[in-house]
Amino acid sequence: MPRYLVVQAPEDGVRLITLQRPEALNALCTELLAELAAELESAERDPATLAVVLTGSRKAFAAGADIREMAERDLVGILNDPRVAHWQRIASFAKPLIAAVNGFALGGGCELVMCADIVIAGEDARFGQPEINLGIIPGAGGTQRLLRAVGKPLAMQMVLTGDPITARQAQQAGLVSELTQPELAVERALQVAASIARKAPLAVRLAKEALLKAGDTDLATGLRFERHAFTLLAGTVDRDEGIRAFQEKRPAHFLGQ
């Protein structure tokens, strides 16, 4: 049983993971990150899980790395930091990951949001990279993914001042896909996840991979990957079913084959 997560078994193909460390505003201590990485690996292996929603509390999605734990680490400790491997496992989750964000998403919390594919935020959410106030810089994607998500001027402003932005600013900048009333963020994220879970799993998986390629490769390589993935899907049972269902004017029943 995880100590810092509440996990709701898959319903309609969607697994809900809630960060639960309220005494520290869901600060991402090593144990919490290890639990999250393990939970996502289990979700990846589970054929009944087709999408995952990740959320925190109304006050905080996550307030960043655990500063108390950071205070105890010296340079050698940081070089051998087990959290690096946990972050890599979280960021490489292959199924769709939807974040439902309320309250603070700061530092590692904002970086965790950027590991998600889709971000639904309550209007009171705040996104920031305040590491500069601690004399450090972001260390889990907060310079690289943030710049790609919101562009250079805003990323520079956020990282160099440490000042957070509002949910509305985050949506305008492209960090958030949809805004909701705070109390509806999780429900809306579950709806979006359930809609994805009804699609053909192989197509969803390759669509995610192809879209992520756009962020880290040149256009010609990305287009080649897209063409290969498109061709691969032409040989699937689900592609035949999708086209047949359209012609027969009925909903498609995908099998993941």
Distance CA 257, CA 244 (A): 15
Distance CA 226, CA 211 (A): 9
Nearer to ligand HXC, 13 or 141 (CB): 141
Position 17 contacts ligand HXC (CB under 6 A): no
Q: Which of residues 98-137 bind ligand HXC (CB under 6 A)?
A: 104, 106-108, 130-131, 134
Position 201 contacts ligand HXC (CB under 6 A): no
Nearer to ligand HXC, 163 or 241 (CB): 163
Position 63 contacts ligand HXC (CB under 6 A): yes
How big, in percent rounded to 5, are the helix, strand and coil portions of the chain?
A: 50, 15, 30
Distance CA 87, CA 139 (A): 10
Position 160 contacts ligand HXC (CB under 6 A): no
Annotation marks residue 108 as catalytic: yes
Q: Which of residues 163-192 bind ligand HXC (CB under 6 A)?
A: none
256: phi then psi, degrees, rounded to nearest 5: 75, 30
CB of 23 to ligand HXC, least distance (A): 6
Distance CA 125, CA 103 (A): 4
| 232 and 205 Cβ atoms separated by less than 8 Å | no
Position 159 contacts ligand HXC (CB under 6 A): no
Annotation marks residue 111 as catalytic: yes
Tokens standing for 20? Answer: 């639960």
Residues that bind ligand HXC (CB under 6 A): 24-25, 27, 63-68, 83, 104, 106-108, 130-131, 134, 138-140
Catalytic residue IDs: 65, 108, 111, 131
